[in-house]
């Protein structure tokens, strides 16, 4: 088993951390890398990506709800205040 240089592992940890991965996911990813289990690494990254995307969609829905409320309030204000 080829060990990756410390600098490479540091960069991988940093990238995964920046991508929102928690410590356990990062450690699991490093273990898979050391065991040369690339397919499992891809699966792990894909699962995390899907999780982030789901959260993004949930947050987008919340933003859409607020935008609709703001639109409705402004429309109502224009009726009451003569077009402002």
Average pLDDT of every residue of the chain:
93
| Residue with more model confidence, 67 or 2 | 67
Give the pLDDT confidence score for residue 84 in this predicted structure: 53
CA 69-74-79 angle, 5° bins: 130
Give the pLDDT confidence score for residue 3 in this predicted structure: 52
pTM, rounded to two decimals: 0.77
Mean pLDDT of 64-72: 97
30 Cβ contact partners less than 8 Å away, ≥ 6 residues apart: 9, 12, 13
| Dist. CA 57–CA 80, nearest whole Å | 35
- Residue 1: is its pLDDT beyond 90? no
Residues 24/31, Cβ–Cβ less than 8 Å: no
- Residue 28: is its pLDDT beyond 90? yes
Q: Which two tokens stand for residue 77?
A: 């204000």
């Amino acid at each position: 088993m080829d060990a990756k240089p410390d600098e490479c592992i540091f960069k991988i940890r940093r990238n995964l951390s920046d991508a929102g991965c928690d410590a356990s996911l990062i450690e699991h990813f490093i273990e898979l890398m050391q065991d040369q289990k690339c397919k499992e690494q891809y699966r792990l990254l894909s699962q995390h990506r899907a999780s982030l995307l789901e959260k993004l969609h949930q947050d987008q829905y919340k933003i859409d709800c607020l935008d609709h409320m703001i639109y409705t309030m402004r429309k109502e204000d224009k009726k009451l205040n003569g077009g402002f």
